[in-house]
Amino acid sequence: MSERWTRSRAAGAGAVASAALLIAGGLLGRPDVAVLGAAPLVAAAWDLWRRPSGELTVRVTGWSAGADGDGSEADGDGAGPDAQAGDGASRAGASGDGASDPRAARTGAVRARVLLDAPPGMTAALVGVRRAGRDAAELLVRVDRTRSLPVVVRTVRTGPQEVATVDAQGIGAGAASIGEPTDPVQRTALVLPSPSALRDLPLPPRLRGLTGAHTSRRPGEGGDLRDVHMFAPGDRLRRIDWRVTARRAPDLRELYVRREHALAEAVVLLVVDSRDDVGPDPRTWRGAEGPRAQDPTSLDLGRHAAASLAQRYLAVGDRVGLDDLGARRRPLPPGGGRRQLDRIRHALAVTRPEGEPPKRLRPPQIPSGALVVVFSTFLDDEASRVAGQWRRGGHRVIAVDVLPEVRERHLDDRERLALRIVRLAREDRLAGLADLDVEVVSWRDDPAVTLAGLARRGRRRPGAGVPA
């Protein structure tokens, strides 16, 4: 539709007052009064003649999403202040520090450019940025035919989401005329989970392959010292230990070689339960209303936890795969390298609840000897049942509890009683997993320390972390 420009209220009131002074001066024979009204009236006529006639267009381009300090910003002229829209707050500036606590999802930054194309005669624009139906930022900027404005939206949520809605209203020269607001331009972005640094992680009971970063019990090369043995066919001459040979066989009738353990890799399968996406407020668990935009949900924490573990395992050369309990789609097979981490982060970002989840008759198939890590809220029996079947099948299973810290101060008595029943049932499920030797880790407490403890526990058990 064509842009319609109207006279502003201030300009219209000034024109009426000038005309009244001009008429009054003519009727009363007061040229001084008429002169006072003539000049503003001529200026109003001039502003009416040079009123813009085109339409203002708004475009949003260059979306990029990532953690603070990781995202890239689209190219532009960079003029003007940044319009920063946060969850529940508005402020100027584009800098900020991401959260370093691995227990919470890191703050993500989505960067874009708002491009304004103004018609001739337009000098300024009032730009509004809204998020989740709330006014986040509003600023008045000068426009000389075109203007590019950087926008930074900070969010603790991950996955596909509506990021911002932008509209603008043009202002003519001298603010004498204003245009109708443009149609809102809405854009969505896929916010990838940002991993946090973790320390030692647990390993599966058996290692695989002939290369890797972990020492196995098989003889080979590259690992720790296995033993000193007599030279046999197949041993390399550079493995001869001359000191031991000189001590045990001074006449050199026998040679002794140093044998080492071979290196191997671990296979880890990350299993995300996307059936639940609940926030800290129990009143939103029924699904009638969603959690607040400033509250990370259980699925946000699950994505963040899975990405953190994937980054650490892949960094040491292990192979990592991904599966989803809430959807019947082809799992991401185990792989290694930086590209595998990118695949896992993207697969985690698009993981979301998809209606009524299908009933699984048996747990998903996993590679032999793999470590299984299940990320779930354990609000029902499905995730704990599948984890128990994997553990009874001989796999080492770690259950990561990603339920957010529940806020209950605003609940009434009936809601508190319902929450207590849910908590008791959930604690029974976690206790049942512990009885099956499934190791439970809460992402709310201190996952880095807990996971490091599980890694030390695995090394203390005879044969753990190495093949039999």
The CATH number of whichever domain residue 400 belongs to comes to 3.40.50
CA dihedral angle for residue 222, residue 214, residue 369, residue 330, rounded to 10 degrees: -100
Question: Would 201 be classed as within a structural domain?
Answer: no
For 6-39, how does the pLDDT look when each residue is reduced to its tens digit (9 = 90+)?
A: 766 655 556 666 666 667 766 776 776 666 666 6
**What value does the mean pLDDT of the chain take?**
76
Structural contact between residues 394 and 383, judged by C-beta atoms closer than 8 angstroms: no
For 263-292, how does the pLDDT look when each residue is reduced to its tens digit (9 = 90+)?
A: 567 889 999 999 888 999 888 887 777 788
The pLDDT assigned to 81 comes to 41
Q: Would you place residue 228 in the very low, low, confident or very high pLDDT band (cuts 50, 70, 90)?
A: low
Fill in the DSSP letter of residue 135.
E
Q: Do 61 and 45 lie in a common domain?
A: no
Question: Would 202 be classed as within a structural domain?
Answer: no
Name the domain boundary from 170, 190, 210. Answer: 190
Residues 149 and 125: their CA atoms lie apart, in Å, by: 12
Asked whether the predicted pLDDT for residue 97 surpasses 70, the reply is no
Q: CB-based burial of residue 390 (10 Å sphere; 0-12 exposed, 13-18 middle, 19+ buried)? A: buried
pTM score of the predicted model: 0.72
Q: What is the bridge-based pairing of β-strands 439-442 and 396-401? A: parallel
Residues 3 and 252: their CA atoms lie apart, in Å, by: 100
Q: Do 40 and 73 lie in a common domain?
A: no
Structural contact between residues 132 and 89, judged by C-beta atoms closer than 8 angstroms: no
- Quote the distance between the C-alpha of residue 434 and its chain's center: 30
Q: Do 254 and 357 lie in a common domain?
A: no
Q: Do 151 and 234 lie in a common domain?
A: no
For 375-396, how does the pLDDT look when each residue is reduced to its tens digit (9 = 90+)?
A: 999 999 989 999 999 999 889 9
| CA distances (Å), origin 167, targets 2, 53, 57, 137 | 16, 19, 9, 11
Residues 343 and 9: their CA atoms lie apart, in Å, by: 56
The pLDDT assigned to 467 comes to 40
The pLDDT assigned to 420 comes to 93
Question: Would 66 be classed as within a structural domain?
Answer: yes
| CA distances (Å), origin 74, targets 146, 345, 371, 418 | 16, 22, 41, 49
Q: Do 76 and 104 lie in a common domain?
A: yes
Q: Do 167 and 238 lie in a common domain?
A: no
For position 91, which CATH number holds? Answer: 2.60.40
Which one has a higher pLDDT value, 345 or 221?
Answer: 345
Q: Do 342 and 428 lie in a common domain?
A: yes
Question: Would 337 be classed as within a structural domain?
Answer: yes
Tell me if residue 124 falls in helix, strand or coil: strand
Asked whether the predicted pLDDT for residue 465 surpasses 90, the reply is no
Note down the domain range covering 326: 267-460
Q: Do 354 and 412 lie in a common domain?
A: yes
The pLDDT assigned to 242 comes to 76
Q: Would you place residue 240 in the very low, low, confident or very high pLDDT band (cuts 50, 70, 90)?
A: confident
The pLDDT assigned to 404 comes to 92
Question: Would 195 be classed as within a structural domain?
Answer: no
Question: Would 33 be classed as within a structural domain?
Answer: yes
Question: Would 199 be classed as within a structural domain?
Answer: no
For residues 115-135, average pLDDT: 82
Helices (H) and strands (E) in the chain, counts: 8, 19
Question: Would 35 be classed as within a structural domain?
Answer: yes
Asked whether the predicted pLDDT for residue 343 surpasses 50, the reply is yes
Q: Do 151 and 31 lie in a common domain?
A: no
Q: Would you place residue 123 in the very low, low, confident or very high pLDDT band (cuts 50, 70, 90)?
A: confident
Q: Do 449 and 323 lie in a common domain?
A: yes
For residues 215-232, average pLDDT: 58
Angle, CA of 371, 372 and 378, to the nearest 5°: 150
Asked whether the predicted pLDDT for residue 75 surpasses 80, the reply is no
Question: Per the structure, how many domains does the chain have?
Answer: 4
Q: Position of tokens 């972005």?
A: 189
For 306-319, how does the pLDDT look when each residue is reduced to its tens digit (9 = 90+)?
A: 999 999 999 888 88
Q: Do 327 and 417 lie in a common domain?
A: yes
Amino acid 348 reads L
Q: Do 113 and 67 lie in a common domain?
A: yes
Percent of the chain with pLDDT over 90: 23
